[in-house]
Amino acid sequence: MPFKTYSLNLKGRLVTIDRPWVMGIVNVTPDSFYSGSRVTDEKALVERIQSMIADGADVIDLGACSTRPGSEQVDAQGEMARLQWALGIIRRVAPDVMISVDTYRAEVARRCVEEWGADIINDISGGTIDKDMFATVASLRVPYVLMHMRGTPETMSSLTDYENVTADVLEWMARRIDELRQLGVSDVIADPGFGFAKTLEQNYEMLARLEAFHALNAPLLVGVSRKRMIYTPLDCTADEALNGTTVINTIALLQGAHILRVHDVKAAVEAVKITSLVRENGPIDTTTFIR
């Protein structure tokens, strides 16, 4: 399908998504599910940021509170301390890079934008955990990644009862985006939430029907990197799931995904380049390989 262009307002600077972006994941946590994304000292953080930028990352997505089930739950003060430390380093070594902060806490989001230079807020809960998030994002006037999830990271695996997962998630996201736009949030990025309150089969059902989410009239973010939906059917580990990640990212790109959130920037950038060459040389009929 044709790639739809969007623009985002980053603190008065207009940026255009006229090709797929790659968002590189950096976690300043001790227990994120994929150990390769974790950094705990300045040297490792600087090296990871510089490597991602050199590999072609468009956005750095910074997290300081793991959301995998059973992870250590850091409080808001602890999360802010980690983010302040990391954002200060990133802004020093890469002052112009776009930074997204992965948080579901409104006050954390506010301080990251107002005091420490974050550009985008990425909320895994879609505003359901902290009821002040929507109003906060509206007042900050920054782009907001709205992700679908039910419950909390601790309870989400038991909340997978859908009548039709694609239709149900799409309806929920449409209602939430309408709420945001009524509050004045014009720059919403839609993330269907692969792996969050979905079974393995439901994840692949959504993937097969990803084009449906373009009805939201928002840039579409896909975050599947090294997740259980990949390594379980392949009978491997997260460490061994890069190839499967690239396959799914390619399928998503061919259905018009705008942003890939990944641990492995170089592989994602290569997927973007190859699929873009295919797109430039003729129309893509995804029904020939997705049923």
Active site residue 261: yes
Helices 76-93 and 42-55 sit at what angle, rounded to 10 degrees? 60
Token representation of residue 107: 């006050």
Task: Quote the CA–CA distance of 183 and 282 in Å, as a whole number.
Answer: 40
The per-residue b/e assignment along 117-153, b for 16 or more CB within 10 angstroms, e otherwise, is ebbbbbbbbbbbbbeebbebbbebebbbbbbbbbebb
Check 105, 176, 226, 227 and give the catalytic one.
Answer: 227
Residue 281's CB is within 10 A of a number of other CB atoms, namely 8
Check 176, 261, 279, 291 and give the catalytic one.
Answer: 261
Find, among 160, 139, 137, 132, the residue nearest to 148 by Cα: 160
Active site residue 68: no
Question: Please, what's the largest Cα pairwise distance for the chain?
Answer: 52
Residue indicated by tokens 């976690």: 27
Question: Within a 13 Å sphere around the CA of 213, how many CA atoms are in the beta-carbon half?
Answer: 33
CA 75 to chain centroid: 22
Strand, helix or coil for residue 128:
coil
Task: Quote the CA–CA distance of 148 and 190 in Å, as a whole number.
Answer: 8
Planar angle of CA 249, 252, 254, nearest 5 degrees = 110
- Residues belonging to the active site: 227, 261
